[in-house]
Chain A
């Protein structure tokens, strides 16, 4: 069986998946940094070799360097999602700087997709900045929000304005957990309205780095009033889709 590789060069994290004999045999992740090519080189240097397909913001950068095929993230996620969740019809991916909602037809073709506007409002980067404004690590930010008894609404969705809003909310003496939960509410609401644009069907997959956030997962389920599936490793769905497409091309 041929070994194939999928590389997802995201705005915050680079993900590598190696696929062989119908199974994932290796996954690797690293922060994208200012030099994504060097990070890719590091991820690949002792990995098995084989046909590679790349996706993500850095795909055009590595295209020449790795002499590989590139595909859009929408396609990568559509393929990867069906591999981790075969009955999947709706995908929500919240990554470092983009949020995508994709609906799939019964046979897995892309039916509709919507992405956030170009600004990073409501994405992983937004969460990171809000956590920092509250003086918390990303993990503690989620834990505090999960433990919160009340929620304080945050209205701004522009990262810069929201940061100011959080700072002035702190200055008004609002408890940190309530602010943390308010931020989660705001992002979940935004994600749900994006999902509504592609018409939500059952079997929803939540992927991307933000799917690691259990509070966000819970908020989205609450707002949709239905179960949302988050895979064991939501970050590698795009890279997995690439590796599978590379295998299909062989």
Chain B
């Protein structure tokens, strides 16, 4: 029988397992110190540039069912729930982070998003970055660097600030330090069975947004101590027989995390989260000391293997690395309804993991509602039964 009761908080400070409280307190504190807040919708927005200006980058609300009805009064129902939810939050004034943001940055990652940005751009200074989507083209780095340069001009103009190259270089080093810390922490999920569950994994992912590298270092020391104690006491999640699951695909925070809950309830243990909302970003390093930090930041963000890229060979390469490191027994590819790019790419992903790694896989297409929980459960349980 799988053990799912958490033996004691993984992060043993006053927030414990309250990542939202931690996040809000951090933003309010920084804002109180005079730092402007800049809202983001995607990992392609280079946070180092925002931090180098002394501002706080925040990921805006995008993953709750409750704001979708309000969005559907304007947007078509047959649209990705992430876009609908984002827009619904803004329309109902319920995303505190959006309210706090003094500017918003979007990207042309998909058609739905870029058209949605048009509908909110009159509310706050909103800058859309034109993301080149053919990563193998020769001039792709040049073009994206140019977009990052335009973002710099937008930020400097909007906030009447100056983003100095040495400040940007310092933020690059900060990001790299933090990514190394969190990426190193992922070693604990390679254990079989792991000493932590997916909620705790999520609690740690994202700590880099609310800490500097020194603070993160001390938090990680505490986390490692707790996990080492759990290992010594034989506390783990699942049994050696529990299927190890790599979850790939669309970002699945908020209400979409129902899928992760179902996987756990069906007896699976989540050992890797491939999505942007998961581990993907932490394996990317920004080149330090190049003399052109803006270009370094652009080149690093461009390495994110989003399905909007074509061909997206980098995603398969990153999956290979994750499979090698975390040893999953199955891959579950989660696609948000109407996300055509991830949906089409799912076929390639499933074929690749079957042929290259002999792993069975399952594609789940879902949204933020809970109407399909039992259907998903049937499919996940059947997948585990077939192992």
**Interface residue ranges, A against B (CB under 8 Å):** 57, 60, 71-75, 98, 100, 110-113, 115, 117-118
Contact = CB atoms under 8 A, between A and B. Distances in A.
Interface in B355-376: 360, 365-366, 372, 374-376
A110 B378 contact: no
Nearest to A97: B375
Contacts of A75: 382, 385-386
B376 A118 contact: yes
Nearest to B367: A118
B382 A73 contact: yes
B374 A72 contact: no
B241 to A, nearest CB: 16
A118 B385 contact: no
B374 A57 contact: yes
A133 to B, nearest CB: 23
Given A117-B365, A118-B372, A57 B378 contact: yes
A74 B381 CA distance: 9
A98 B379 CA distance: 10
Contact of A110 (B365, B379, B381, B385): B385
A201 to B, nearest CB: 16
A146 to B, nearest CB: 32
Interface of B: 360, 365-366, 372, 374-379, 381-386
Given A74-B385, A118-B372, A98 B378 contact: yes
Contacts of A112: 360, 386
A11 B377 CA distance: 14
Taking each of B374, B376, B378, which has the highest tally of chain A beta carbons within 10 Å of its own beta carbon? B378
A115 B379 contact: yes
Given A71-B385, A75-B385, A115 B378 contact: yes
Given A112-B386, A113-B382, 13 more contacts: A57-B374, A71-B381, A72-B384, A72-B385, A73-B378, A110-B385, A110-B386, A112-B360, A115-B378, A115-B379, A115-B382, A118-B365, A118-B376
B378 A72 contact: yes
A113 B372 contact: no
A112 B375 CA distance: 18
A121 to B, nearest CB: 13
B324 to A, nearest CB: 24
A113 B383 CA distance: 8
